[in-house]
Amino acid sequence: DAGITQSPRHKVTETGTPVTLRCHQTENHRYMYWYRQDPGHGLRLIHYSYGVKDTDKGEVSDGYSVSRSKTEDFLLTLESATSSQTSVYFCAISETLYSNQPQHFGDGTRLSIL
């Protein structure tokens, strides 16, 4: 299994509070991703990173920010959480951008915003 650890695994918080999710990898892969999974939508890309301090937006980036200060860590921050951000969040990693390269996923973080 790919060495990807997400923390926390579960979190319940209140609307308006800041939340940070962490993804840690031991594979030394260059590319890291944050997705959210919602019923009826499959997984959708929030942000991604193509190197240390190099990040860009995905298709559902509003309300989220990311940071990557080390190859192994990719942080997702909700500056002021809203109920619409209740979801399951997955981190993924990829070694290259070749189309035959699968992304490998962490076990997910279940986030509930009350």
Provide the token pair at 9: 């695994």
Nearest-angstrom CA–CA distance, 114 and 110: 13
Nearest-angstrom CA–CA distance, 95 and 43: 20
Pick between residue 16 and residue 52 the one whose CB is nearest to other proteins: 52
Nearest-angstrom CA–CA distance, 77 and 112: 14
CB of 70 to other proteins, least distance (A): 20
User: Taking contact as CB under 8 A, which single stretch among the options 21-29, 61-69, 72-80, 98-106 is the one that binds other proteins?
Assistant: 98-106
**34-73 residues near other proteins, rule: CB under 8 A:** 40-45, 48, 50, 56, 58-59
Sign for the pseudo-dihedral over CA of 46, 7, 12, 53: negative
Residues engaged in binding other proteins (CB under 8 A):
31, 33, 40-45, 48, 50, 56, 58-59, 88, 90, 92, 97-108, 110
